[in-house]
Amino acid sequence: MPENLFVGAWALVSFEVRSADGAITYPFGRDVRGYIVYSHDGYMSVAFMQAGRAKCKSEDVRGASAEEKVSAMDTYLSYCGRYEVRGDKVVHHIEVSLFPNWIGQDQERLFRLEGDQLTLSTPPMPIGGQEQTAHLIWKRSRAV
């Protein structure tokens, strides 16, 4: 599949995590918000968050309390870098990430593209202390 079919902005519709026993959870809630953007020149960026995140008491971006920082990290995820399509997978070459352990990693996502809907699924990975798979459904966004 040509990489140009990915190009553009995609709004997050659903993010669910499935465990080996079939249990489904929604780590960012059912009303998760986010975007993934794929560029013509081979870069991607993704950011998503739990809806209704608590605001910090301070307007100083570096002035949050330890508890506020934990809450902020637990309700938000982002990373970016180059990407490439390999067969039925898109590989994200992570260069910048909120979660520092992902920096320098290549993460594969199995994809299915049907019209304006893109589904990305991870291989089994540690999520919440156990091996699980994440399934994200995105809808193509169009500027008005």
Task: Dump pLDDT digits (tens) for 101-110.
Answer: 999 999 999 9
CA angle 78, 79, 81 (to 5 degrees): 160
At residue 144, the pLDDT reads: 58
Contacts of 21 (CB under 8 A, 6+ apart): none
CB atoms within 10 A of CB 139: 14
Instruction: List the domain range (segments joined by +) for residue 94.
Output: 3-141
CA distance 86 to 3: 9
Structure tokens that stand for 107 in this block: 């993460």
CATH of the domain at 119: 2.40.128.280
At residue 61, the pLDDT reads: 84
Give the number of domains in the chain: 1
Per-residue pLDDT band at 18 (split at 50, 70, 90): very high
Mean pLDDT to the nearest integer, 54-74: 91
Quote the percentage of the chain above a pLDDT of 90: 82
Maximum alpha-carbon separation in the chain: 47
Mean pLDDT to the nearest integer, 1-26: 89
At residue 76, the pLDDT reads: 97
Nearest 5°: phi and psi at 79?
Answer: -160, 165
User: Does 140 have pLDDT greater than 80?
Assistant: yes
